[in-house]
Amino acid sequence: MSGYPTLSAIAQWIENQFDPAGSVAAFVQWLTGQSTSLLRGSIYQVAMFGLTFYLLFYFLRDRQHGLQAVAGLSPLRAPETAYILSRFAETVHATLLGTVFVAAVQGILGGLMFWWLGLPTPVFWGLVMGLLAIVPVLGAFVIWVPAAVYLALEGAWASAAILTVWGGVIVGGIDNLLYPMLVGNRLRLHTVVAFIGAVGGIVLFGASGLVLGPAVIAITISLIDVLKTRLTDRPTPARAGELPHQSVTD
């Protein structure tokens, strides 16, 4: 650098201003901390995954005994307890089926756009987008965003723009449109109420809130129905799952 005084001065100024050695040390320290957090989080997720299936086995095998135990501990009357449990089961089924259906639609839409743009293996990537769409933290954008970046780097700006608009507006927006409609109709809840339940559940409970959020709302409304039935001296529903009166609908 002695033969190039200008470059030497610039290098000296950069070293004085930015401290490359200190920056590299700080980056290495940050990277170490992130790796530790990632490892700890991965172990936690694997443990929770195994625990979920462990508990699910006993829930499925002993579900009748569990329902009888809940009915025995419930302070409500037997028909009222059966009604609450029926509404809870309907909520879980509707939420899960709605989530899978919407994810399948997102995967199909993404795969069709991949096929139309001439991207390789559109069926495979459509399947991957559908599977990722089930996970609340992730989504189909994990696939179509890198594909749009790839098209842009290849110079196919029109295709990249089409894929970006299609993925962001159609594939991403169809979730907010279809999910509340499907789940809300099956739960006899207003679309806005079902949407707030799903979003609020995710905020409070994480990924499991996608099911717990609407379930909490449905059970709360069911308990209000039971209370109103008692206050108005109307007969408790004789059949499990029958509403005491017409619930809020679209």
**pLDDT tens-digit readout, 92-151:** 888 888 888 888 998 899 889 889 888 888 889 889 888 888 776 677 888 888 888 888
The reply to whether the predicted model has a pTM over 0.85 is no
Q: Pick the residue with more confidence: 244 or 192?
A: 192
As a residue count, the chain comes to 250
User: How far apart are alpha carbons 15 and 30 in whole angstroms?
Assistant: 21
Q: How far is CA 112 from the centre of its chain?
A: 23
Q: How far apart are the first and last CA of the chain?
A: 75
Radius of gyration of the chain (CA): 27
Give the H or E element holding residue 44: helix 20-61
- DSSP, collapsed to helix, strand or coil, labels residue 57 as helix
Q: How confident is the model at residue 13 (pLDDT cuts 50, 70, 90)?
A: low
User: How far apart are alpha carbons 78 and 72 in whole angstroms?
Assistant: 9
